[in-house]
Chains A and B, each alone.
Chain A
Amino acid sequence: MSGSIEAVSTRSRATSARLSRLPRLIRKYALAAVLWIFALGFIAPLVWMVSSSLKRNIDVFTVPMRWIPSPIQWANYAEVWLGDHSMLRYFGNSMLVTSVSVAGDLITSSMAGYAFALLSFRGRNKIFFIYLSTAIVPSQLLLVPRFMFFQQVGLYNTLWALILPGLFTLYGTFLLRQFFIATPTELAEAARLDGATEWQVFWRIYLPLARPMLAALGIIRFVGSWNDYETPLVMLSDDSRYTIPLGLTQFVDGDGGLSAGLAMAASVSSVLPILIVFLIFQRQFVAALAFTGLK
């Protein structure tokens, strides 16, 4: 399947090597062709979203389908960004919530992950076991008491109700603990012998080593926080505090009908930051997902 195996099989059957090379090439390109056709069909809904975001409402549903809009309706974006339900405000709210909670999570998770992996203190394993055993509790079960809590302390309908629970995640703690366990300890031993404090060992030696993992966690959490719909739905009631996913629903009217061009322009706008981050940091993102899947 992979290159090295093909090489082995070619060598082991030397006589048929020259004969089998041609069909193998054909097979390779046939597979590529099938995959590419499948991929184009697969991504078509999102291409259609982009195309429709630049159409007048009456052009969105014309048959046969037009992939290149004409006339191009840039006004959709102007309306979505500056109109009644301004995406500008939703964007600001989302940016604030996402950046503060993700930054907080990176700090608390790396500190705790480091302690759970490399420091020993009484109760460490018991605490970590309690952490892990809450991993499959449904988020909805936690949402009811959190809602009550925020209402009692007067933070209901504020961005704090979204930020505070995001400052700590089991996912981040677990990911960084796994990373630190797999990190060699020699440098730290040397630093400790030279009289470095635990904080210095963590801050100067281990945290820089964890940079790729922190980047990966940051991206995964950015996507998760940016796309979260359930928490704002429960915690916010005021349109001016809405984050992007909740703001998007404003482009659907009461009967479920919607102004198609505007809805698509809003959707494209909501996806763009995520898409840019993903395309730039694709490798770290995939590496982090792979890391969680393999450990």
Chain B
Amino acid sequence: MTNVIVKSAPAVVQRRPARSRRIPTRVGWLFIAPNLLGFLAFTLIPLVAGLAIAFTDWNVVSGLGAVHFVGLDNFAELLGDPLFWTSALRTAGYAGISVPGTMLLGLLLGLALNSDVPGRAALRAIFFIPHIVSSIAIGMVWLLLLGPENGPINRILQGLGVSSPPGWLVSEVWGLPSLVLIVTWSGVGYCAVIYVAALQSMPPSLHEAALLDGAGPFARFRTVTWRSLMPTTTFLGVTMLISHSQGFGLIAFLTQGGPGDSTTVLSYYMYEQGFQFYRFGYAAAIGIMSFLGVLVLSVVMWRFQRGRGLYT
């Protein structure tokens, strides 16, 4: 009698659809273990260490025995460091122009590539290719093209009657705009591809409804297209803000923050303080400040889009 009850009980449990009951806790942990290990070793612990280092005057030369906690000294120094403020301002200018610029051009290009033009696939590939080329190879080409003396671009400008064309990357005035142009050129195709995907996943019924209501092309764009692209725009805005405000490769290769400090953005300033002057504590403090800046901007952007999208 008792035997029967014991045997039948597990069968009832097994038929229950709640998956959570059946899967032992340990299996899930085993599945994430390799990933979690890497996450701890190369992201979480370095992050905590990075935060801690910002409160020390540690440099790699004096070894682990010479760690001094200096409290908020690094941050206090940062606040009084004019180069920190100008680099922060430059980062804001660099990302503040290149991100919206790339997105706007990408949106226009995406709209054009979404209509059925002949050779659409080839066009899409052409615009996308600069995005997959490494920043160093891109930097090499533009270094030659923008050469102040014999670079093809200045030769063409001279041919067009410009008597003293800009020095581009070696000019204090034109250095940062040149970098913005290059980074925009290489990112436009990426934005266009993301926008095309969003446009294609848009339910056509929305447009048809607007059309039946008698909305013209601009009204349709404003009320339907733009608002359904809102989540995509926010996604691109946040991810590109993060990547552009950390932009490093092109600047490190093309200008090393110069001439003077005219192209020193925060990411390069941090690299310089850490890996050239070995002031790791100070570098970590710069990293934390730039992280906080991006964090605040990202949250503002998410808040702004909330409730403005057409769906989701």
Contact = CB atoms under 8 A, between A and B. Distances in A.
Contacts of A114: 31
Interface stretch (A14-22, A76-84, A208-216, A268-276): A268-276
A140 B112 contact: no
Contact of A294 (B118, B232, B280, B287): B232
Interface string A185-218: 1000100110000100010000000000000000
Given A230-B248, A293-B236, A151 B23 contact: no
Contact of A39 (B126, B132, B232): B126
A236 interface: no
Interface residues of B, number: 107
Contact of A43 (B129, B143, B145): B129
A190 to B, nearest CB: 12
Interface string B274-301: 1100001001100110110011001000
Nearest to B268: A140
B4 interface: no
Interface string A1-17: 11111001100100000
Interface residues of A, number: 105
B79 interface: no
Contacts of A5: 204, 207-208, 211
A145 B53 contact: yes
Given A119-B27, A249-B136, A290 B42 contact: no
Given A170-B39, A202-B31, A244-B134, A294 B127 contact: no
Interface stretch (B69-77, B82-90, B171-179, B189-197): B189-197
A198 B19 CA distance: 12
Q: Mostly helix, strand, loop or mixed at chain B's interface?
A: helix
A131 B141 CA distance: 38
A35 interface: yes
Given A136-B291, A144-B50, A267-B137, A52 B144 contact: yes
B62 interface: no
A159 interface: no
Contacts of B194: 289-290, 293
B219 interface: no
A286 B178 CA distance: 28
Interface centre among A36, A124, A193, A293 (most CB of B within 10 A): A293
Interface string B57-74: 000100010000000000
Contacts of A294: 197-198, 201, 231-232
A195 to B, nearest CB: 10
Nearest to B170: A256
A26 interface: no
B283 A121 contact: no
Contacts of B207: 1-2, 5
Contacts of A192: 22
B270 interface: yes
A173 B152 contact: no
Nearest to B117: A32
B310 interface: no
Given A12-B212, A122-B25, A260-B144, A137 B137 contact: no
B290 A293 contact: no
10 contacts: A39-B123, A39-B127, A42-B130, A43-B130, A48-B145, A127-B36, A131-B39, A137-B43, A293-B235, A294-B198
Interface of B: 14, 17, 19-20, 22-23, 25-29, 31-32, 34-39, 41-47, 49-50, 53, 60, 64, 111-119, 123-130, 132-137, 140-145, 147, 150-152, 155, 159, 185, 190, 193-194, 197-201, 204, 207-208, 211-212, 225, 231-232, 235-236, 242, 245-246, 248-249, 252-253, 267, 270-271, 274-275, 280, 283-284, 287-288, 290-291, 294-295, 298
Which 10 pairs from chain A and chain B are nearest by CB? A168-B38, A121-B28, A290-B197, A141-B287, A112-B35, A115-B31, A227-B134, A145-B46, A119-B28, A145-B49
